[in-house]
Amino acid sequence: MHVNYFLKTPIEHGGKTYSELTFREPKTGDMMVLDKFTGEMSKMVALIATIADVPIQVIKDASLKDFTAISEAVAPLLGNDQPSTDAGSTS
């Protein structure tokens, strides 16, 4: 499964212009990369960059609007596409 996202604001990095990003499902090894980072936001940025196969700086340079939309678009790839039915449950 892949997700394509067209950036509202293209990103320039390393002499390349990124106007579209393609995300793939993460692999176990991708999750290991996150051990190098502290903080939830840093880990999310690193994961998104990893599954898009782009330098982390590309995601750091994304507008907040694009980052928010990307986070929502990749949620199904991360297993976050179904709302929890256990929310608030105390069983």
pLDDT confidence of residue 79 = 84
Whether 85 is covered by a domain: the verdict is no
**Residue 25: pLDDT band by 50, 70, 90 thresholds?**
very high
Residue 59, in any domain of the structure: yes
**Distance, CA of 73 to chain centre:** 8
User: Quick check: is 35 in a domain?
Assistant: yes
Cβ atoms within 10 A of the Cβ of 50, count? 21
At 56, the amino acid letter reads I
* Length in residues, the chain: 91
pLDDT at 1: 85
pTM of the model: 0.82
Q: Could you list the residue range(s) of the whole structural domain that residue 40 is in?
A: 2-77
How many structural domains compose the chain?
1
d(CA 22, CA 28): 19
Predicted confidence at residue 5, as pLDDT, reads 96
Per residue in 68-91, pLDDT (tens digit) is: 999 999 999 988 755 444 444 444
* Radius of gyration of the chain, Cα coordinates, nearest whole angstrom: 14
Identify whether 55 is part of a domain: yes
